[in-house]
Amino acid sequence: MSTQALKPYIQGEAVAIKHERPNSAVFGIGASLFGTEMSSASLNSVEKPIVGTKADMYSHGARNEVYVDLIERLSVLISANGTIMCNDIIGCLQIKSYLTGNPEMKLGLSSDLVIGKTSRVGYGYGVRLDAVQFHPSVVFDDFESQRILILHPSEGEMTVMKYQQSGELSSSLPFLLNHSIEEDYDKSVLTIELTLKCDLKPAVYASNVTVRLPVPKNTTNVSPSLKYNSGQSTEYKTEDKVIIWKTHKINGGTTLNAKFRVCLCLCLCLLFNVPWGLCFII
């Protein structure tokens, strides 16, 4: 159900729920686009309720705002020597509109954008998307010539575009994952230490980061060692023989460490080279 249909049934005054976020800003696209100037706002601004409060009634133009979010989920499979074996990106372009009257809104995408697996990117830093799905209300009059999306958003949230991309990455990974393995032949124990470094800018963070670590089939028990109260968690899935290491958020330029004690059922510990699975959202 749309926000417009729900608003007549909301009688009470909305109360914003505050979340802990870093003190950074959301930046505009550019000063030359459509003749507008670039502006910035606190990330907490988007948490304002769609339904206006009493203060908004006496503040002219206080809610004449729209927020655009680009959310990407990147899944990567990394070999033991650090080589990227495969990757997949699933993203969406979302807007949260406080505009009244359903005015016309234009969103400009990269002029070098091409769509389709068989499409070729020209010279320079072009962007290729394998598949794209747009909201039914999007108008494509200027899309082929200028890569501009035209829409009339109603108050509330709306997913303008969903897309998928696989194959070679256009830039380096935002994470560096290092590992070390120590073997104790007498006790049939492997000690695996993982170091995950976020190679993003300090003002940016990644959320819901998951690392999947396969272990030998003769593993009997796994004992994790994590920093206390760091927002991290681990899970060992016995049937799949895989360790799942999760962290809710990691800031750019910071490093996380995890150590695992893997017990084997045989007296002989065999050195194993396995791929690492890495999945996260920025």
Q: Which one has a higher pLDDT value, 59 or 86?
A: 86
Q: Which of 16-20, 169-173, 212-216, 264-268 has the lowest mean pLDDT?
A: 16-20
| Structure tokens, 264 | 């084997």
Distance CA 218, CA 216 (A): 5
The DSSP H or E segment spanning 180 is strand 175-184
Q: What is the pLDDT of residues 159-175, one digit of tens each?
A: 999 999 887 666 677 88
280: pLDDT strictly greater than 60: no
Q: What is the mean pLDDT of residues 170-197?
A: 83
Q: Where does the pLDDT of residue 88 fall: very low under 50, low under 70, confident under 90, or very high at 90 and above?
A: confident
State what percent of residues in the chain have pLDDT above 90: 13
Amino acid 161: pLDDT:
92
User: How confident is the prediction for the chain on average, in pLDDT?
Assistant: 75
Q: Where does the pLDDT of residue 79 fall: very low under 50, low under 70, confident under 90, or very high at 90 and above?
A: confident
19: pLDDT strictly greater than 60: no
Q: Which one has a higher pLDDT value, 166 or 149?
A: 149
pTM score, whole prediction: 0.62
58: pLDDT strictly greater than 70: no
Q: What is the mean pLDDT of residues 29-48?
A: 47
Report the candidate in 237, 278, 281, 233 with the shortest Cα–Cα distance to residue 258: 233
Q: How far is CA 207 from CA 71, 87, 175, 249, in A?
A: 11, 18, 12, 4
Q: What is the mean pLDDT of residues 123-150?
A: 83
